[in-house]
Structure 1
């Protein structure tokens, strides 16, 4: 997987191809997690669906690309503007997404959002889907 960098033209084009689906899937993911793991979106609890999905290509701040046998995998860091305003690098205000393309001339397809689970010293797990600016953009499958 390549190093993290600001999105270039090809990544911005791929983002544009999946932007509408990203918005729909993020709202759906939050609603689904609110039923079983409400802490996953606790940082965005106060936001409406419209505020949560109010991002645009200008909020696509970081990308990593991996070449695989079956095509290109794009990992993106996307700022949620309603959370980011006035925050610092430790403020949860980003989602990480994964997309796929069979090649440079093929359309991008949304794959998933990253949801991380954390385990405390007692073995209790908590989940989060909203990340900070300092959280690394890493490979994820879910």
Structure 2
């Protein structure tokens, strides 16, 4: 598997035609897996989707290609890894850039002529001074899109 050290990761930029095409290939799977991720985390780490707790599954997954706002592409020996920042419209509607209203996803393609495959969403876990872990899967507009493995 490629690592941050072995891949050539490009700078963040607005999605271009190839990234938008890849997004279209995985959009249905993104929606399905985001709902699944929330249901899974709600059992053990409800704070992971705290800002979306009042959203229905449909509202949570109501994004489209227009909400795909940022991309970074990492080139590896075996293909391309696409890291994307995706706005959740039902959360971003208040316009506050400090509201956790974005998910970061990872996809993979063996090349420009191959279909993209969804890999994962970024879930961050941080340990506080007391040793308690906090989990989250929703990020703000200002948080950078960085390498993540799962």
TM score, norm. by length of structure 1: 0.98
Q: Secondary structure at the match of 1:65?
A: strand
CA distance in 2, matches of 1:88, 1:35: 28
Q: CA deviation at 1:87?
A: 2.9
* 1:78-97 C-alpha deviation (Å, 9 max, x unpaired): 00000000132111000000
RMSD between superposed Cα atoms in Å: 0.6
List structure 1 runs of 4+ shifted beyond 6 angstroms.
none
Q: CA deviation at 1:120?
A: 1.1
CA distance in 2, matches of 1:37, 1:68: 33
Find the counterpart in structure 1 of residue 54 from structure 2: 46
1:71 paired to 2:71: no
Worse-matched range after superposition: 86-95 or 24-33: 86-95
Match of 2:13 among 5, 24, 31: 5
Find the counterpart in structure 2 of residue 131 from structure 1: 139
CA distance in 1, matches of 2:34, 2:94: 22
Which ranges of structure 1 fall in alignment gaps of 5 or more residues?
A: none
Find the counterpart in structure 2 of residue 30 from structure 1: 38
Q: Secondary structure at the match of 1:63?
A: strand
Find the counterpart in structure 1 of residue 98 from structure 2: 90
Q: CA deviation at 1:29?
A: 0.4
Which ranges of structure 2 fall in alignment gaps of 5 or more residues?
A: 1-8
Q: What does 1:100-139 align with in structure 2 at a 5 Å threshold?
A: 100-139=108-147
